[in-house]
Amino acid sequence: MTGLAGAGADPLPLTLVALLAAGYLLAVTRDRRGWRRGRSVSWLAGCAVLALAFGPLAGGSADPRVHVAQHLLLGMVAPLGLALGAPVTLLLRVAPPPVRRAVTRVLRARPLHLLAHPATAALLATGGLAVVLLTPLYAAAERNPWLHHGLHLHYLAAGYVFAWAVAGPDPAPRRAGPAMRAGVLLGAAAGHAVLAKYLYAHAATLPPGLADRDVAALRSAARLMWYGGDVAELLLAAAFFAAWYGRRGRRVQRAACGLPAVSRTVKPSAPQCRVTWLHDW
């Protein structure tokens, strides 16, 4: 439920989405080593989902189900596509040395170590949504366009960091182990489901901005939030296991080929060792 009853789609977010897509494709053309097509598809799919959330779903409807759909796309589905596009890796491959050094410093910064932890990212994503829906903040966002856009930015950023921390191919500072990431993902899914059930059970007593909506529509929106969230979290889980399988498979491949553990490639003289893993798409 991230929208407000506005006057229609705002051209500014749509313009920014178009710039994101164009900038990524321009960077791909500058990568002389060749960029994986699957990553480009993921990024463009994420941009398309953003355009849907900021375009058709950003109209003047006050139906809470529309706002739930916007939240699912903006805060859960689009961030996964963007994270799987590995934009930081692409930037490090095509940017000039000063930019690469600056990006590396950011990745090594202590605040990012905290933000990039799956538990922190999950708290910002799911906890932030709960704060908006269970306090008068939602009603305030309906009256203040800047707060409205700020909440959209928060949902997108928190969702992106969470997807990156759990399954993103981009480098992450002190990436948590698979067990930790899987546990946090399960906890976040449970928290999202609990929030949806709470909204369903207390549809008639929600804070201003939600309480004045039709109770039946609110309960329908809560069901959409529950089931739609499950689908989005299953997609993230699939990406997590694909990443885990790919990394583990490459280690097995290197060991079988007698290569150092840090190597990411296979010697051309050993074509029998060449294997494409799920995470290499």
Q: Where are the domains of the chain?
A: 11-280
What average pLDDT does this structure show over 206-214?
Answer: 69
Rounded to whole angstroms, the Cα distance separating 33 from 76 reads: 31
Q: How confident is the model at residue 210 (pLDDT cuts 50, 70, 90)?
A: low
What average pLDDT does this structure show over 6-28?
Answer: 87
Fill in the DSSP letter of residue 74.
I
pLDDT in tens, 65-92: 888 888 899 999 999 999 999 999 999 9
Instruction: Output the six-digit token pair for 131.
Output: 């704060």
- For residue 133, the model assigns a pLDDT of 86
This prediction has a pTM of: 0.84
User: pLDDT: is 105 or 249 the higher one?
Assistant: 105
Rounded to whole angstroms, the Cα distance separating 167 from 160 reads: 10
- For residue 7, the model assigns a pLDDT of 46
Q: What is the mean pLDDT of the chain?
A: 84
* Contacts with 201 (C-beta within 8 Å, 6 or more apart), sequence order: none
What does residue 138 show for φ and ψ, rounded to 5 degrees? Answer: -60, -45
**Type of residue found at 164:** W
Say what percent of the chain tops pLDDT 70. 81
